[in-house]
Amino acid sequence: CIQSKKEWKRVSGLFRKTSRAFERCFSALAATIVLLILSALFDMSRRWNVEMLASISFAFILPGVLWTAATTTTACNRLPSLVMLCEVDDEDEDAEYMDLAMFLSLSECGFFVWDTCVT
């Protein structure tokens, strides 16, 4: 379990560093989606149907990136319950698994944008 904690610290540190690196990109992507929807509404008001289709198609494709970031956080949040499913006969080893699960749940690993968890 000690080796697992060390590995988890490294993984959660990588998540935090990656999150900091992509904060502005993530926000710009979200703003781009909003602007694409607004431009599609503008094109619809002018009855420019072909131009509207391009905006709408991009507005529906781009959230996939945001969805991926949110699913990594969800996967990290579900990991402690997966550790708790391990059945062990020895009580000392069971206590180590409980300690590991508690460590994983308190580490708050995932994708963060300006210290706000993206889920």
Percent of the chain with pLDDT over 70: 96
The highest-confidence range among 7-16, 24-33, 65-74, by mean pLDDT, is: 24-33
The per-residue pLDDT for range 58-112, each reduced to its tens digit, is 778 878 877 877 787 777 777 777 777 777 777 777 777 778 778 777 777 777 7
Q: Alpha helices of 1-119 — where are they, by DSSP H?
A: 2-45, 49-61, 63-84, 91-106
Given a cut of 80, whether residue 37 has pLDDT beyond it is: yes
Q: How far is CA 80 from the centre of its chain?
A: 16
* Beta-strand relationship, 112-113 and 116-117: antiparallel
Does pLDDT of 36 surpass 80? yes
Q: Per-residue pLDDT for 119 more than 70?
A: no
Q: Per-residue pLDDT for 40 more than 80?
A: yes
Token pair of 65 as six digits: 């990136």
pLDDT of residue 61: 80
Average pLDDT score over residue span 18-44:
84
